[in-house]
Amino acid sequence: MELDLDTEMNLDDMDDDLLVIGDSQQYLFFILAGDIYAIDVNNISEMIEYQAITKVPLMLPYIKGVTNVRGKIITVLDLRERFGLGETKLNYKTSLVITNNIALIIDEVHEVTSVEESNLKESINFGVKIERRFVKNMASYNNTHIVILDCDEVLNIKEISQKRASK
């Protein structure tokens, strides 16, 4: 399924297009630093285009600031930087995935699709570029293995709310 990024998109709208079969769960597949990662859609409240961000000083480098989503103030986190994969380079495909009042900057939305439970596995493949603690499990997807992110760990409040070490 192709996602049209020109319009704001609610996950509710998409549900109609997707068939839920047996023990399967829907995931958002997205591109980050050239690799595909996935997040359980239950964690996501909304996806929007990248938009202007107000910088908040003194925070960790990957906390980019806040942005206004229909009058609500949402924290913005650069997922690439969080994983130590360098700062996101903005382009027209850059998107924000909002989960738990925090918007994650990702390079590109790939697709939303369901994965059957039999295609999930706990063991973590060699060659995963991010820290193991961020990995919830792996999913077989188009003959490759994709990391499903552990949102609780990625958004660990204790960790991400720390202040930048003073110079």
Partner 1 sequence: MTEELEIFLEDCDDQLQMMEDALVDMQSNGASESTIGTIFRAVHTIKGSAGMFGFDDIVTFAHTGENLFDSIRQGDVGVCEEMISLFLLCKDHMEVLINLLTEDKELSAAQKEVGHNLIQRLEGYLPRAQIKEENIEDIPSTIVIEAAKWHISIRFHKDFFTTGMSINSVFKFFNKVGKVLKIQPIIYNIPSIEDINPLHPYIGFEVCLLADLSKSEVEDIFEFIQEDVDLYIFLCDDSDEYNTLVSIRKEPELKNELINAKFIDEDTLIEPELIIPTVEEKEEIVLNQKEEEIVLNQKEEEIVLNQKEEEEEEIVLNQKEEEEEIVLNQKEEEEEIVLNQKEEEEIVLNKKEESSEPKKKAVSSLRVDSSKIDILINYMSEISITNSRILTLIDDEGSEIGETVIHMKQLLEFVSDGIMDMRMVKVGDSFNKFRRIVSDTAKKIGKDVDFVISGEDTELDKTVVERISDPLLHMLRNSIDHGVELPEDRVACGKPAQGRVDLRAYQDSGTIVIEIEDNGKGLDRDRILAKAIENGSVKKNNNLSDSEIYKLIFSAGLSTAETVSAISGRGVGMDVVKRNIEDLRGSVEIESTIGQGSKITIRLPLTLAVIDGFLLQVGDTKYIIPLENIKECIELTTIEQESLNGNEFINVRGEVLPLLDIRLLLGENKSITERQNIVIVYFGKKIVGLLVDELLGEHQTVIKSLGIVFDQLSGISGASVLGSGEIALIFDVARLIELRNEG
One residue of 67, 88, 95, 99 binding partner 1 per CB under 8 A: 67
Give the three-class secondary structure for 64: strand
User: Considering beta carbons, is residue 105 or 146 the nearer one to partner 1?
Assistant: 105
Min separation Cβ 101 and partner 1, Å: 6
User: What are the residues whose beta carbons fall under 8 Å from the beta carbon of 82, sequence distance 6 or more?
Assistant: 62, 154, 160
**Unique residue bearing structure tokens 């591109």:** 31
One residue of 33, 66, 85, 128 binding partner 1 per CB under 8 A: 66
Q: Is 101 in the site for partner 1 (CB under 8 A)?
A: yes
Q: Is the dihedral of CA 77, 78, 79, 81 positive or negative?
A: negative
Segment 134 to 163, residues that bind partner 1, using CB under 8 A: 157, 160-163
User: Considering beta carbons, is residue 60 or 124 the nearer one to partner 1?
Assistant: 60
Under a CB-based contact definition with an 8 Å cutoff, are residues 46 and 98 in contact?
A: yes
Q: Is 43 in the site for partner 1 (CB under 8 A)?
A: no
Q: Is 45 in the site for partner 1 (CB under 8 A)?
A: no
Please give the angle made by the CA atoms of 131, 135 and 141, to the nearest 5 degrees: 120
Please work out the total of residues on this chain that contact partner 1, with binding judged by CB under 8 A.
25
Q: Is 73 in the site for partner 1 (CB under 8 A)?
A: yes
Give the three-class secondary structure for 153: helix
Question: How many helices (H) and strands (E) in the chain?
Answer: 4, 11
Task: Enumerate binding residues for partner 1 (CB under 8 A).
Answer: 52, 54-59, 63, 65-68, 71, 73-75, 101-102, 157, 160-164, 167
